[in-house]
Structure 1
Amino acid sequence: MKNKKILFILHLPPPVHGASMVGKYIHDSEVINNTFDCHYLNLALAKDLNDIGKGGMRKLKDFYKQLKQVRLLIKSIKPQQCYVTPNAKGGAFYKDFLVVMLLKIMRQNVIVHYHNKGVATRQNRCFDNLLYKMFFKNLKVILLSENLYQDIKKYVKYKDVYICPNGIPIHENLPIVPQKEFNILFLSNMMKEKGVWDLLEACTILKKKGKPIKCHFVGKWSDIKEEQFTDEINKRELTEYVFAHGAKYGNEKDVFLQKTDVFVFPTYYNNECFPLVLLEAMEQGLPCISTNEGGIPSIIENEKTGYIIEKHSPKIIAEKIEYLMEHPQQCANMGKAGRKKFLNEFTLDKFEVRIKNILEDCIITA
């Protein structure tokens, strides 16, 4: 397959989010680059997280340049396969629709890899429905989880779908850091839809019950601002229980994971599909509490590696945390089961092999 050319049109950081990190893993993969003759084009137009979803003349000009680059690359390298990571809905989908249509006009074999969802939320709109029919015609699709097939079921037959869970690099020789307190960790962008206020309410419940918790929020300030969060902590009298640390990366982020007893991610973010942060927590042997959003139920095995709860359920979050506090052996066993599942299914090397196999199959069957 080394002489088989693939054009990867994907998101690369910045900004840093799940799709861009997976794009970087593919871009840097020896497995993939040694198997195919790979060429890459960055699909991202946003410069940072706050720029995602916004329009403007700068983005319009950059998109026009992107289309020209796609056309020139197709003519010059003549790929056997094109791989695209599109958006599922809204203005970002309309942009990616044009990219895929250009590839189809140039008679390219196309596979799309979804890191978001939302097709089903727009499929009953006449205009979007028409575009989706055109977009998905003769396409192969990679999804992160079986759960996500319902989102595109109207347009794509299951035989044209590949399931490929994400993976992340393994950190070798992880240190065990004993702690006196019971530490809870939230690690994501500080967004309302990531469940920040739900976890804060759960902490309020636990504090009123006299539970000795320490809850750490680690992430970049987004639609929740630092001053707003601090005011809320003060109002709830949680200054000795809840701590906000801002964005942390690399070793600094790992330190928080290594000092934690339970990871809580009560997301209801509408684009949530397969959060890499849950894989990071499982690698560190942490039981995870999260919601039934997107592909999360295929990551966490309920009551074995953690808990899947309904969205907007701070009372249940508090109950699960309290149970794990009072049953330390079960807490530890859940963490061990989660790490085992991570090593069996969600490592980067397994992800790279899955992507390689999918692309080989697409080329063979084209």
Structure 2
Amino acid sequence: MVIALASMYKVPVVGHVHGGHFGELYREAGRFFRFFIRASAQKLVGAIVLTERLKGMFAGLVRPDRVYVVENFVADEVLPSEEDFAHRRECLKGKWGGARLLYLSNLIPSKGYLDVIRAIYVLRSCGMSVSCDLAGAWMSEHDRVVAEELVRELSLQDSVRFHGIVTGEAKRTLLRNADVFVLPTYYRFEGVPLALLEAMAWGLPVIVTNHGGIGDVVRDRVNGVFVQPRAPENIADAVCWLLEDAERYHCISTANIQLVAERFTENRSAQSLVRVISRLLQG
């Protein structure tokens, strides 16, 4: 409706998709809705996605040369201070005792948080002292009950903590105290999780799946580790690989800090957005 109204008054419209869901939405829509999407897309002067591999969402709808990438960014207020970096440098060491994992995302089952909990059980069964903080919104009461029952069943009450939605200093505290970020997602609408970029900005090595647009940000064994979806043992192995070698951990941590500083800052994203929109409006 908005696109049609803008077109009527000859106002150019750019489609800007922040997730990885648009292609799925179009393919699964009914005949009438697909017609409506195609008609609306034809009125766009162009489209913007988060990574190169997400350009395919607009295949057959927007000309390929009119689909551009503007990468997401880490907000300035989330970036660590010099004191935070000093704390991280002090903690950069391989450690088999007291390791803390961080899951920071909505608590949607297909984001893989139950696999993270099971991975904690695998690690503790091997004698590793490890804990996990999970922060995010529950999608349903049923999901919360299932997760809490799993924690009790595996006797992980002292090792797994649910924090709910965190913002501001509460989020910064979790990022400051974590050793590894874990998001083994197979969520069908995944794009590039903002929490992933935030964790990288804090120098956390990341354990993720090569899913959605994540593979355009993370390189396996360079600034993180790829695991298979629904594979707690894979996650446990990745944690061990990251923490057993202090130099390896340090290299990956440093690589993530540098990558965010080079590609995912608020200023860089704003400049890129202005440049792309200007190009699209010029035809």
TM-score of the two chains, using structure 1 as the length reference: 0.69
Distance in 2 (alpha carbons) for counterparts of 1:155 and 1:239 = 50
User: Does the aligned pair in 1 maintain the 2:3–2:43 contact within 8 Å?
Assistant: no
Matches within 5 A, 1:179-190: 181-190=98-107
2:13 to 106, 110, 133: 110
Aligned to 1:123: 27
Aligned to 2:42: 137
Distance in 2 (alpha carbons) for counterparts of 1:113 and 1:120 = 13
Matches within 5 A, 1:14-25: none
Q: Is it true that 1:173 corresponds to 2:75 in the alignment?
A: no
Structure with greater contact order relative to length (CA < 8 Å, sep ≥ 6)? 2
Q: Is it true that 1:267 corresponds to 2:185 in the alignment?
A: yes
2:210 to 282, 287, 292: 292
Distance in 1 (alpha carbons) for counterparts of 2:59 and 2:254 = 35
User: Does the aligned pair in 1 maintain the 2:134–2:162 contact within 8 Å?
Assistant: yes
Q: CA deviation at 1:226?
A: 4.3
Unaligned runs of 5+ in 2: 92-96
Q: CA deviation at 1:311?
A: 2.1
Aligned to 2:168: 250
User: Does the aligned pair in 2 maintain the 1:174–1:284 contact within 8 Å?
Assistant: no
Q: CA deviation at 1:270?
A: 2.1
Q: Paired residues, what number? A: 268
Largest Rg, 1 or 2: 1
TM-score of the two chains, using structure 2 as the length reference: 0.88
Aligned to 1:38: none
Unaligned runs of 5+ in 1: 1-97
Aligned to 2:94: none
Aligned to 2:265: 347
User: Does the aligned pair in 2 maintain the 1:169–1:349 contact within 8 Å?
Assistant: no
Distance in 2 (alpha carbons) for counterparts of 1:349 and 1:136 = 29
Matches within 5 A, 1:328-343: 328-343=246-261
Counterpart of 2:199 in 1: which secondary structure? helix
Q: Percent identity?
A: 26
Aligned to 2:157: 239
Distance in 2 (alpha carbons) for counterparts of 1:330 and 1:231 = 36
Q: CA deviation at 1:99?
A: 1.8
Tell me how large the CA RMSD over aligned residues is: 1.9
Q: CA deviation at 1:141?
A: 0.1
